[in-house]
Amino acid sequence: MKKILIENVKKGDVLAKDIISGNNLTALKKGVTLDENIIKRIKRLTLINSGFEGNYIFIEENSAGNEKNIEKELSLLAKRFEDIDGDGFMRGIKEIIKSAILKNYGRN
């Protein structure tokens, strides 16, 4: 589980804790995979509970949704670089960007 800024949640992230609204009702259940609408909803709501601290929420690390997103981003990266993969300097840049993508998903 990791705590991230609400502004930084992405499609495919999976909630690691319930989100309870101000009137003490469960707004979103643990395990929900976030899509654009849910993210908008989270951003709109003013919530207080254990799953929501200030501007942060808790999401699962290495969730299945993330796996798909990582796979997609890495495949797009490979496509962007496919014509210049023979160049050492360009391969170096590709590796740097690959590391940044993985780090963005909490991988090192």
The residue among 18 and 73 lying less far from another protein, judged by its C-beta, is: 73
72: which residues sit within 8 A by CB, 6+ positions away? none
The residue among 30 and 94 lying less far from another protein, judged by its C-beta, is: 94
- Give CA separation, 34 vs 20, 28, 42, 83, in Å: 16, 10, 10, 35
10: which residues sit within 8 A by CB, 6+ positions away? 34, 39, 69
CB of 32 to another protein, least distance (A): 19
The residue among 25 and 83 lying less far from another protein, judged by its C-beta, is: 83
The residue among 49 and 98 lying less far from another protein, judged by its C-beta, is: 98
Interacting residues toward another protein by CB under 8 A: 7-8, 10, 73, 76-77, 79-84, 87, 89-90, 92-94, 96-97, 99-101, 103-104
- Give CA separation, 75 vs 32, 55, 106, in Å: 26, 32, 18
CB of 43 to another protein, least distance (A): 9
